[in-house]
C-alpha cells in the first residue's frame, strides 16, 4: 500500500518540484531561531531531504550536515543543486533502517514537511526508534505530521462555504474529491480515531498519508522523547495549552522533541 508513495517521490516531475522549493515554513523558522545559539556545535541529519529546501537554511549553520532520502533521484537532485563539501553530505538512506549511522551520532535530526506521513503505522514507530538510537541524548528531533483535527474540519461540507462564491465552488470540488478518494472513511470514523490513512490532495491525490491527533502523537513519542513542544505550521507559534491543542485545526503541526 505504501510502496505507491515511494513511486510518487521518484517521478521526475515531483523531484523537480521539490528541487525548486526554497522557503522555510513559519514553524521551521521559529525552531531555527529558538536554537540559534546551538547550531554551530551541531551535527545535523536531514531525513527525507527531498530537493534540499531545508539544506539551504541549515547546512551552513551547523558543524556537519548529512541529508538522506530513500529516493536516489532526490539525492541526485541535491548533489546537483549544492556544490560538494566535506561538511555537507547527501546519501541514499531509509529512515526505517539507518544502520549506516552509529548510535548517538547526531545533535539535531529533522524529518520535515510531513515526510514521515507516507509510511505505515509500524514503520513510523520504527523511525522513532531509529531516531532515538542515532540521536544524542539531550539532542533534538523535529518533524511535522498531518493533523487529524484539521482533516475532521475538511470532511464537513459546511466548512467549505465562504463569502466568496468562487472560493466556495473550488472548496466544494476539493471536498467532493476528498470524499471520493476516501469513500470507505466516514466523518464518524474520523471523529473516533486517533489516526487514519488518507488520500489527500497532495500530488493530485496520489499519496496515502498518515493523519494523527496531536494528543495521540504526543503519546506515541513518550517512550523515546521528552519535553515535546508543538508548533502551528502556519503561524509558527508554539501551542502551549491543552485547550489550544484540542481545538487546533492546522492541516499539519511541527513537533520538537528532546532525545532521551
Ligand atoms: C514531502 S517531501 C519533503 C522534502 C523536503 N524535506 C522538503 O521539505 O522540501 C518528503 C520526502 O521524504 C522522503 N521520504 C519519505 N519516506 C522516507 C523514508 N522512509 N526514508 C527516507 N526518506 C523518505 C521522500 O522521498 C521525499 O523526498
Q: How far apart are CA 258 and CA 152, in angstroms?
A: 29
Tell me, what's the pLDDT at 156? Answer: 87
Report whether residue 74 contacts ligand 1, using a CB cutoff of 6 Å: yes
Report whether residue 214 contacts ligand 1, using a CB cutoff of 6 Å: no
Query: What are the chain's domains?
Result: 3-145+213-259 (3.40.50.150), 150-199 (no CATH)
110 Cα: distance to centroid of ligand 1 (angstroms): 11
Widest CA span of the chain, in angstroms? 56
Question: Nearest 5°: phi and psi at 53?
Answer: -55, -45
Q: Is the Cβ–Cβ distance between 151 and 211 less than 8 Å? A: yes
Q: Which ligand 1 atom sits closest to the C-alpha of 93?
A: 21
For ligand 1, pick from 48, 98, 122, 208 the residue to mutate: most ligand atoms within 8 Å of CB.
48
Tell me, what's the pLDDT at 1? Answer: 72
**DSSP codes of every residue in the chain:** --HHHHHHHTSHHHHHHHHT--PPPHHHHHHHHHTTTTGGG-EEEEET-TTSTTHHHHTTTSSEEEEEES-HHHHHHHHHHS--BTTEEEEE-BTTB-TTS-TT-EEEEEE-TTGGGGS-HHHHHHHHHHHHHHEEEEEEEEEEEEEHHHHHHHT-GGGG--SSHHHHHHHHHHHHHHHHHTTT--HHHHHT-SEEEEE-STTTTT-EEEEE-HHHHHHHHTTTEEEEEEEETTT--EE-SHHHHHH---SEEEEEEEE-
Q: How far apart are CA 129 and CA 150, in angstroms?
A: 27
Report whether residue 43 contacts ligand 1, using a CB cutoff of 6 Å: no
Q: Which ligand 1 atom sits closest to the C-alpha of 113?
A: 8
Tell me, what's the pLDDT at 206? Answer: 94
Tell me, what's the pLDDT at 155? Answer: 87
Q: Is the Cβ–Cβ distance between 72 and 92 less than 8 Å? A: yes
115 Cα: distance to centroid of ligand 1 (angstroms): 4
Report whether residue 118 contacts ligand 1, using a CB cutoff of 6 Å: yes
Rounded to a whole number of angstroms, the CA Rg of the chain reads: 18
Give the residue ranges of the chain where pLDDT is below 50: none
149 Cα: distance to centroid of ligand 1 (angstroms): 23
48 Cα: distance to centroid of ligand 1 (angstroms): 3
47 Cα: distance to centroid of ligand 1 (angstroms): 7
156 Cα: distance to centroid of ligand 1 (angstroms): 30
Report whether residue 112 contacts ligand 1, using a CB cutoff of 6 Å: yes
Tell me, what's the pLDDT at 159? Answer: 86
Tell me, what's the pLDDT at 179? Answer: 92
The burial of 82, by beta-carbon neighbours within 10 Å (0-12 exposed, 13-18 middle, 19 or more buried), is given as middle
Residues 6 or more apart whose Cβ sits within 8 Å of residue 239: 214, 230, 231, 232, 245, 248, 253
131 Cα: distance to centroid of ligand 1 (angstroms): 15
For ligand 1, pick from 50, 66, 114, 129 the residue to mutate: most ligand atoms within 8 Å of CB.
50
Amino acid at each position: 500500500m505504501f510502496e505507491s508513495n515511494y513511486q510518487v517521490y521518484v517521478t521526475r516531475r515531483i523531484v523537480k518540484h521539490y528541487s525548486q522549493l526554497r522557503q522555510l515554513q513559519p514553524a521551521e523558522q521559529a525552531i531555527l531561531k529558538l536554537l540559534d545559539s546551538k547550531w554551530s556545535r551541531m551535527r545535523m541529519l536531514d531525513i527525507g531531504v527531498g530537493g534540499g529546501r531545508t539544506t539551504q537554511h541549515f547546512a551552513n549553520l551547523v558543524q556537519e550536515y548529512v541529508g538522506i532520502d530513500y529516493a536516489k533521484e532526490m539525492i541526485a537532485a541535491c548533489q546537483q543543486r549544492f556544490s560538494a563539501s566535506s561538511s555537507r553530505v547527501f546519501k541514499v538512506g531509509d529512515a526505517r533502517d539507518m544502520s549506516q549511522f552509529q548510535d548517538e551520532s547526531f545533535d539535531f535530526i529533522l524529518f520535515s514537511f510531513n515526510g514521515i506521513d507516507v509510511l505505515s503505522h509500524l514503520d513510523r514507530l520504527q523511525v522513532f526508534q531509529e531516531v532515538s538510537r542515532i540521536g544524542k541524548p539531550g539532542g533534538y528531533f523535529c518533524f511535522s505530521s498531518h493533523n487529524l483535527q484539521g482533516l475532521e474540519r475538511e470532511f464537513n461540507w459546511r466548512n467549505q462555504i465562504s463569502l466568496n462564491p468562487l472560493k466556495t465552488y473550488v472548496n466544494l470540488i476539493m471536498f467532493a474529491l476528498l470524499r471520493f478518494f476516501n469513500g470507505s472513511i466516514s466523518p464518524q470514523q474520523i471523529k473516533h480515531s486517533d489516526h487514519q490513512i488518507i488520500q489527500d490532495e497532495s500530488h493530485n491525490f496520489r499519496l496515502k498519508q498518515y493523519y494523527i491527533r496531536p494528543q495521540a502523537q504526543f503519546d506515541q513519542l513518550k517512550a523515546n522523547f521528552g519535553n515535546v513542544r508543538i508548533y502551528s505550521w502556519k503561524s509558527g507559534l508554539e501551542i502551549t495549552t491543552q485547550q489550544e491543542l484540542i481545538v487546533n485545526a492546522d492541516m499539519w503541526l511541527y513537533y520538537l522533541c528532546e532525545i532521551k
